[in-house]
Structure 1
């Protein structure tokens, strides 16, 4: 289940985002400080072009889905990303089912909740597992580009999924 994030979720979101597993596959790889996170939360919570949702599995919050760059007038498009409580899910042996569920629910929210025509995102080239999962959900990869982030050169691959191309239940 996805629900809107609240101020009560801020500390959980930061702890998950700073897990090594999540930092390795993020453009920003440094450990996010409480101050940085507070600035981010302050900026996103009232921004009409963004949504921050918490993924809840078996009554336990265990992930974050963000939608941003939402264009809800004219061609309805937006971008997204997510991260999970990788450590907690791994301890419970729930990583793969949670991952499948959060992606399915996020895509449904994008197209059925936000009524987007196209959903965009990015994935780092070395994140082959996520790239495979994206293909399973019918995302199409665009042209890779080089970026410098946190003092390291990374290859970022844009992804896109059109409403008509999504996998239906």
Structure 2
């Protein structure tokens, strides 16, 4: 289940984002400080081009979904997204794969059904083979790789996109 993040979620968002497995597959891999996070939240919570959602699994916070660069007044409507899970907690409970499938299903459903997007964009690091495979399962298409320098390292980033008409249809539709 996805719900809108509130001020009460700020600490858990930072804790989950700072988990080592999440930092390893993020473009910005440094540990986010409390001050940096507070500044991000202060801007994000009032930005009409952003949505931050909490992914809950059986009543427990299990991840965060970020939608950004939302073009809701444009035709076609577009936006970008990213997410991270409670990799540590889900692994301890043996729920990583079902949670991952569920959050992707819920997030793409939110993008197309709630936000009314025609196309959803994102990025994935080239070395993140597991995420790339899951993205293909959900019919995301990869674009041309781009090499970037960030935080003293070179990374290869692949743009991804999914058009509403190409998405996996929810069961029953």
Structure 2-normalised TM-score?
0.97
What are structure 2's unaligned runs of at least 5 residues?
none
**Inter-partner Cα distance in structure 2 for 1:150 and 1:20:** 16
**Inter-partner Cα distance in structure 2 for 1:149 and 1:6:** 30
Tell me the CA shift for residue 106 of structure 1: 0.2
Tell me the CA shift for residue 73 of structure 1: 1.4
**Inter-partner Cα distance in structure 1 for 2:141 and 2:82:** 15
Q: Deviations over 1:82-125 (max 9, x none)?
A: 00010000000000000000000000000000000000000000
The match for 2:101 is 100
Tell me the CA shift for residue 76 of structure 1: 0.1
**Inter-partner Cα distance in structure 2 for 1:150 and 1:97:** 33
What SS does structure 1 have at the residue aligned with 2:139?
coil
The match for 2:142 is 141
Do structure 1's residue 72 and structure 2's residue 85 form an aligned pair? no
The match for 1:50 is 50
> Map of 1:88-167 to 2, 5 A cutoff?
88-167=89-168
Structure 1 segments (4+ residues) deviating >2 Å:
none
Q: Deviations over 1:27-54 (max 9, x none)?
A: 0111110011001101100100000000
**Inter-partner Cα distance in structure 2 for 1:152 and 1:49:** 29
Q: CA RMSD in A?
A: 0.5
Q: Deviations over 1:57-91 (max 9, x none)?
A: 00001100000000011220000000001000000
The match for 1:35 is 35
What SS does structure 1 have at the residue aligned with 2:124?
strand
**Inter-partner Cα distance in structure 1 for 2:150 and 2:36:** 16
Tell me the CA shift for residue 149 of structure 1: 1.1
Q: Deviations over 1:6-40 (max 9, x none)?
A: 11111101011000000000001111100110011
**Inter-partner Cα distance in structure 1 for 2:149 and 2:129:** 20
